[in-house]
C-alpha cells in the first residue's frame, strides 16, 4: 500500500498550515458539515457577489484529509464563478466514487485523488465539497427570495 | 526458561486457533488490535455454527422431530453453559438477547418504565458506552426520572467519592460499565453495587468488555442485572446475555411479544411463558447461542489462569512501551492494577483517523473515533482517540509493531 499517494506533501502542508482558516467578517452564506462517524467538522463562510465567490474561509477540526480538502477548496474557490466551483465539486465526487476521470482544472485538488483507493476515507475528502453545496443551497433560496420581492 | 518456552508455545497454539490471524493485510501479517470492538473467532466456534446449519438446523421448542430435539437441546445447553460461566443461581436467569445493547434496552423498557417515577434518580458514569446512556435518557424522558453522572478522574477511574455523595434515597438505579471499552479501566463493581444497595437502588452492570477479560461471578457482584456481549468474547455477532435475578424477571413485563413467549393465547387475553422464555419472543438466534456456548467452552478450556497471565503481560509490556514514546499521550492508565490491555492514545499532530490509516497500511488494525463514548471524549478534551485493544491471540511482537507504526505516524507528519 503506497501511503505516499494518500499523504502527498501538499496534503500534509495544507493540513498543517490550513489556508483561509478564519471566520470572515462579512459573509453571505455559511454551512457546517459534520461526519458523525468520524467526527470531522468543516464550517464554511462564503461571501458571494453576483455569482462570484468573492471570499471564502473555513474553520474545522478533523483528519488531515478532511482539513486539507477544505483548505484547498477555499484556495481554489476564491474569486471564481460559483458554477465553476460547483462543477469541479461534482466532478471531484464523481472521480472518487464513480470511476469518472474528468479532472480538468483540478489544480491542487489532484493531490487528493489518491483517496480513491481508500474507500473508508472518501467521505473525509468530500466533506468540504458537500458543505459547499449546502451553503450554496441557502444561497439559491436567497436569490429566489430576492426575485420574488 | 521452561516457563518462557511454555508460554510461547501456548501463545502459538492460541494464534493457530484463530484462522483470520494468518491472513495478510496490505502486504503485512495482520496485527489485529481491535478486540474491544469485536474479538476474532476461534475455529471451534466457526465449526459449531457450521455444524448446526449443516447437520441439525431446525427451530426449537416446537418441532417433535429429531432435528428439532437436537437443536432445542443444543440451545438449552448453551444457556446452561452461560449460566455456569457467570455463576448464575438459576439457568432461567439467563436471557439471550441480540447483544449488550438489547439487554440494556430490555431492562430500561421492562423494568425502568414500570418502576421509575418523576424525580427518581438514575446514576450513570462519564465512561459509559452510548448503549448504557441513551436507553436511560429515553426512559427518563418518559418517566420524569433524572440522570446523574459520576465523573472520571484524570487517572481514568471513577470518582468514587462523588459517587457516594450522589447516592440518596432518590437513587433508584445505578447503571455502570464493568470494564471501560475506551480506557481499559476495571471498575470496583462489587463495592459500587454494595453501596447502592444501602439505599435500596437496583444495579445494572454492563459487562460487554468482561466476558473475555476476567471470570465473572454475578452472585458475588450481587448486581440485579448483568449484561454480556457474545461477539466480544469470541462468539458470533447478534447474540448477548442479560442476567437478572429471578424474582425481578418474574415481575417484569415482557419486552417483545409474539410466539415462543406465551402459555395460552386467545383474542381476549394471553398468559406469558415462564422465564426465560417470557423474554425471548420469536425464533431466537439459535446458531448464535450455540456459537456463544462454544466460545465459553473455549475460554474454559484455555483457563482463566492462562488468559489472565497473557493479558497481564501484554498490559505491562504495552503500557511501558507506549508510555516511552515521545509524542503520544495515553489516556487513563495511572492505576495499573485495575486495567486490561486497552489503550486509547493521541499522537501529537496526527489525527486519529490518519493514525488508523497509516497503521492499516502496515497491517495493523486499530480503531479511531469516539468509541461510542462521546461524553468521555469531552472529558479528555479531544473529539476522538486512536485505540489499540489486545486479546489473548496478541503477542509482545504486536506491541512492537504498533510502536513502530506510531513512530511512522510521527515521522510522516513531522
Ligand atoms: C462497554 C460496552 N457496552 C455496550 C456495548 C454494546 O454491545 P453490543 O455490540 O453487544 O450491543 C459495547 C460494544 O461496543 C461496549 O464496549
Residue numbers of the domain that contains B358:
2-32+303-412
In order, the DSSP letters of B121-146 are: EEEEETT--GGGTHHHHHHHHHH--E
Q: Considering the domain boundaries, does residue B147 fall inside one? A: yes
For B290-311, how does the pLDDT look when each residue is reduced to its tens digit (9 = 90+)?
999 999 999 999 999 999 999 9
| B353 in the same domain as B240 | no
d(CA A35, CA A69): 14
Buried/exposed code over B313-352 (b: 16+ C-beta within 10 A; e: otherwise): ebbebbbebbeebebbebbbbeeeebbbbbbbbbbebbbb
Reported as a pLDDT band with limits 50, 70 and 90, residue A1 is low
> What is the domain-level CATH number for residue B145?
3.40.640.10
A positions 94-123 inside 8 Å of B (CB): 118, 120-121
pLDDT tier at B377 (50, 70, 90 boundaries)? confident
Query: Domains of chain A: which residue ranges?
Result: 3-136
pLDDT of residue B335: 64
Name the residue of B99, B103, B231, B238 to mutate for ligand 1: max ligand atoms within 8 A of Cβ: B99
DSSP codes joined into one string, B324-374: TSTTEEE-S-S-GGGB-SEEEEEETTB-HHHHHHHHHTTTEE-EEE-TT-H
Residues B341 and B238 in one domain: no
Q: How far is B179 from chain A (nearest CA, A)?
A: 23
Q: Which residue, judged by its Cα, is nearest atom 12 of ligand 1?
A: B208
How many angstroms separate the CA of residue A92 from the nearest CA in chain B?
A: 21
B414 neighbourhood in chain A, CB within 8 Å: none
Residue B39 lies in a domain: no
pLDDT given for residue A149 in this prediction: 32
Q: How far is B99 from chain A (nearest CA, A)?
A: 21
Q: Is residue B264 in some structural domain?
A: yes
Q: Mean pLDDT over residues A25-44, rounded?
A: 91
CA dihedral B61, B66, B71, B72 (to 10 degrees): 30
Give the pLDDT confidence score for residue B259 in this predicted structure. 85
Which residues partner with B94 through β-bridges?
A: B243
Same domain? B135 vs B108? yes
Q: What is the dihedral of CA B328, B329, B330, B334, to 10 degrees?
A: 130
pLDDT at B336: 65
Q: Is residue B262 part of a domain?
A: yes
Both B27 and B173 in one domain: the answer is: no
Residue B37 domain flag = no
Q: Residue A61's closest chain B neighbor by CA?
A: B383
Q: How far apart are the first and last CA of chain B?
A: 42
Residue A137's pLDDT band (boundaries 50, 70, 90)?
A: confident
**Cis bond upstream, residue A147 (ω within 30):** no
Chain B positions touching A61 (Cβ under 8 A) are 383
Residues B210-242 have pLDDT tens digits of: 999 999 999 999 999 999 999 999 999 999 999
Q: Residue A146 above 50 pLDDT?
A: no
> To test ligand 1's pocket by mutation, which of B232, B374, B375 has the most ligand atoms within 8 angstroms of CB?
B232
Number of domains making up chain B: 2
| B26 interaction partners in chain A (CB closer than 8 Å) | 1
Q: Are B332 and B224 found together in one domain?
A: no
Whether B115 and B22 share a structural domain: no
pLDDT at A142 over 50: no
pLDDT at B334: 65
Q: Who lines ligand 1 at CB under 6 A? A: B 99-101, 129, 131, 177, 181, 206, 208-209, 229, 240, 372
Cα–Cα distance for residue pair B356/B343, rounded to 1 Å = 14
Is pLDDT of B286 > 60?
Answer: yes
Ligand 1: centre distance to CA B122 (Å):
20
Does residue B128 lie within any of the structural domains?
yes
A90 SS3 class: helix
- Separation in Å, CA of A120 to nearest CA in chain B: 9
Nearest to B384 among A3, A38, A118 (CB): A38
Do β-strands B202-206 and B171-177 pair in parallel, antiparallel, or remain unpaired?
Answer: parallel
What pLDDT, on a 0 to 100 scale, did the predictor assign at position A39? 81
Q: What are the grid coordinates assigned to B253, written together? A: 413485563
Question: What's the complex ipTM?
Answer: 0.86
Task: Report the DSSP beta bridge partners of residue B244.
Answer: B225
Q: pTM for this structure?
A: 0.92
User: Any CB–CB contact under 8 A between A14 and chain B?
Assistant: no
| Cα(B237) to centroid(ligand 1), Å | 11
Domain co-membership, B6 together with B102: no
pLDDT of residue B191: 98
Interface list for A 33-62 with B (CB within 8 A): 37-41, 61-62
Does the pLDDT value for residue A52 go beyond 70?
yes
Which atom of ligand 1 is least distant from the CA of B128?
Answer: 1
Q: Is the residue at B133 inside a domain?
A: yes
In a domain, B41, yes or no: no
Quick one: average pLDDT of A22-51? 92
Answer yes or no: is pLDDT of B171 > 90.
yes
Pair B290, B161 in one domain? yes
* pLDDT score, position A148: 36
pLDDT for A135 beyond 50: yes
Asked whether B215 and B304 are in contact (CB, 8 A), the reply is yes
Tens of pLDDT along B5-22? 566 778 889 999 999 999
What is the third-level CATH fold of A3-136? Sufe protein. Chain: A (3.90.1010)
pLDDT digits (tens, 9 = 90+) for A69-88: 999 999 999 999 999 999 99
Mutate to test the interface with B, among A5, A40, A64, A127 (most CBs of B within 10 A): A64
CA of B246 to the centre of ligand 1 (A): 24
The CATH number of residue B345's host domain is: 3.90.1150.10
pLDDT digits (tens, 9 = 90+) for B337-355: 778 999 999 999 999 999 9
Residue A145 confidence class, pLDDT cut points 50, 70, 90: very low
Min mean pLDDT across B201-210, B227-236, B333-342, B356-365 is at B333-342
DSSP state of A69: H
At residue B260, the pLDDT reads: 84
Asked if B47 contacts B53 with a C-beta cutoff of 8 angstroms, the reply is no
Q: pLDDT tens across B123-156, in order?
A: 999 999 999 999 999 999 999 999 999 999 988 9
User: Per-residue pLDDT for B57 more than 80?
Assistant: yes
Amino acid at each position: 500500500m503506497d501511503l505516499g499517494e494518500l499523504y502527498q506533501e501538499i496534503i500534509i502542508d495544507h493540513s498543517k498550515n490550513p489556508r483561509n482558516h478564519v471566520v470572515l467578517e462579512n459573509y453571505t452564506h455559511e454551512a457546517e458539515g459534520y461526519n458523525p462517524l468520524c467526527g470531522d467538522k468543516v464550517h464554511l463562510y462564503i461571501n458571494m457577489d453576483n455569482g462570484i465567490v468573492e471570499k471564502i474561509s473555513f474553520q474545522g477540526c478533523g483528519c488531515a484529509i478532511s482539513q486539507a480538502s477544505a483548505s484547498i477548496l477555499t484556495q481554489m474557490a476564491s474569486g471564481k464563478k460559483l458554477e465553476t466551483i460547483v462543477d469541479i465539486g461534482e466532478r471531484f465526487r464523481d472521480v472518487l466514487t464513480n470511476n469518472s476521470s474528468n479532472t480538468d482544472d483540478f489544480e491542487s485538488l489532484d493531490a487528493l485523488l489518491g483517496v480513491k483507493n481508500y474507500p473508508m476515507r472518501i467521505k473525509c475528502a468530500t466533506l468540504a465539497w458537500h458543505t459547499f453545496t449546502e451553503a450554496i443551497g441557502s444561497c439559491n433560496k436567497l436569490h429566489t427570495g430576492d426575485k420574488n420581492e | 526458561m521452561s516457563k518462557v518456552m511454555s508460554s510461547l508455545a501456548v501463545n502459538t497454539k492460541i494464534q493457530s486457533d484463530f484462522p483470520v490471524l494468518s491472513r495478510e493485510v496490505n502486504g503485512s501479517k495482520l496485527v489485529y488490535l481491535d478486540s474491544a470492538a469485536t474479538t476474532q473467532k476461534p475455529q471451534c466456534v466457526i465449526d459449531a455454527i457450521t455444524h448446526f446449519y449443516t447437520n441439525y438446523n431446525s427451530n426449537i421448542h416446537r418441532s417433535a422431530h429429531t432435528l428439532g430435539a437436537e437443536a432445542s437441546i443444543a440451545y438449552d445447553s448453551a444457556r446452561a453453559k452461560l449460566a455456569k460461566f457467570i455463576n448464575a443461581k438459576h439457568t432461567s436467569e439467563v436471557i439471550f438477547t441480540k447483544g449488550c445493547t438489547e439487554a440494556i434496552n430490555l431492562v430500561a423498557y421492562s423494568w425502568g418504565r414500570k418502576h421509575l417515577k418523576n424525580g427518581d434518580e438514575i446514576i450513570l458514569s462519564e465512561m459509559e458506552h452510548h448503549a448504557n446512556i441513551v436507553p436511560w435518557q429515553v426512559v427518563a424522558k418518559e418517566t420524569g426520572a433524572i440522570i446523574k453522572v459520576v465523573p472520571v478522574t484524570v487517572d481514568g477511574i471513577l470518582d468514587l467519592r462523588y459517587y457516594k455523595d450522589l447516592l440518596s434515597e432518590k437513587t433508584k438505579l445505578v447503571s455502570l460499565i464493568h470494564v471501560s471499552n475506551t480506557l481499559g479501566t476495571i471498575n470496583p463493581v462489587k463495592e459500587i453495587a454494595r453501596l447502592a444497595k444501602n439505599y435500596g437502588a437496583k444495579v445494572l452492570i454492563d459487562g460487554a468488555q468482561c466476558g473475555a477479560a476476567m471470570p465473572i461471578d454475578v452472585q458475588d457482584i450481587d448486581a440485579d442485572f448483568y449484561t454480556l456481549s457474545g461477539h466480544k468474547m469470541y462468539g458470533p455477532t447478534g447474540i448477548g446475555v442479560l442476567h437478572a435475578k429471578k424474582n425481578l424477571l418474574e415481575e417484569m413485563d415482557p419486552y417483545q411479544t409474539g410466539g415462543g413467549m406465551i402459555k395460552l393465547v386467545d383474542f381476549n387475553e394471553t398468559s406469558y411463558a415462564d422465564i426465560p422464555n417470557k423474554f425471548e419472543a420469536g425464533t431466537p438466534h439459535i446458531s448464535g447461542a450455540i456459537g456463544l456456548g462454544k466460545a465459553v467452552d473455549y475460554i474454559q478450556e484455555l483457563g482463566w489462569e492462562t488468559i489472565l497471565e497473557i493479558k497481564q503481560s501484554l498490559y505491562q509490556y504495552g503500557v511501558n512501551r507506549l508510555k516511552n514514546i515521545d509524542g503520544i499521550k495515553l489516556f487513563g492508565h495511572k492505576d495499573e492494577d485495575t486495567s486490561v490491555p486497552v489503550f486509547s492514545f493521541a499522537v501529537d499532530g496526527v489525527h486519529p483517523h490518519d493514525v488508523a490509516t497509516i497503521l492499516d497500511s502496515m497491517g495493523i488494525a486499530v480503531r479511531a473515533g469516539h468509541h461510542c463514548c462521546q461524553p468521555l471524549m469531552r472529558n479528555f478534551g479531544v473529539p476522538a482517540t486512536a485505540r489499540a485493544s489486545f486479546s489473548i491471540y496478541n503477542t509482545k511482537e504486536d506491541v512492537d509493531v504498533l510502536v513502530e507504526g506510531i513512530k511512522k505516524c510521527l515521522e510522516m507528519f513531522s
